[in-house]
Copies of this chain bind each other. A is one copy, B any other.
């Protein structure tokens, strides 16, 4: 599985800590991690709105299978990611949240708070969240006897989001402020992840042309 980690300016200094925990969990499970957001305060400047667009591009291009994003409280990232077609982003503050989100909602992204509640033990909590988010059967239901309606509802939400969106994600990108999109897709590691992993030529070409 290809996993993207996306952090924005307000908590960029914590990227090495979070990345280390994510890589440690992902490596042991055979997943690949792409650190496509800011990796320090001096990196290419991104806000949570940019993270939403980045997640939209990578998910819709099939370049990554799952996104971990975040900001100070995680709420901005949460709303920005969910604003994008094809992105289904939950919110996670403890390991059980991660497990339940997989079982009940089976989405493709999680937003985390990187400042709210972030004190001693926060990197441990992040690791435990990654462990539970990345293991176990997905969409198995919780409690298990509620699997059927839960899977059904996830499908209905997916259909609804698809119905509200353009058929083509490139058209979605064209509807957004070009200056905003350009900043979102200009990061070097982001572009490399897209080039190496995109399964959608049209999205890739369009993004690289910006």
Contacts and interface: CB of A to CB of B under 8 A. Distances in A.
Interface of A: 10, 47-49, 52, 72-76, 78-80, 82-83, 85, 88-91, 93-97, 99-101, 104-105, 107, 113, 115-122, 124-125, 128, 132, 142-143, 146, 149, 153-154, 156-157, 159-161, 163-165, 172, 175-177, 180
A116 B120 contact: yes
Given A82-B79, A121-B99, A128-B95, A180 B153 contact: no
A121 to B, nearest CB: 4
Given A90-B79, A172-B164, A115 B107 contact: no
The number of times this chain is found in the oligomer is 4
A204 to B, nearest CB: 21
Contacts of A116: 96-97, 100, 119-121
A96 B121 contact: yes
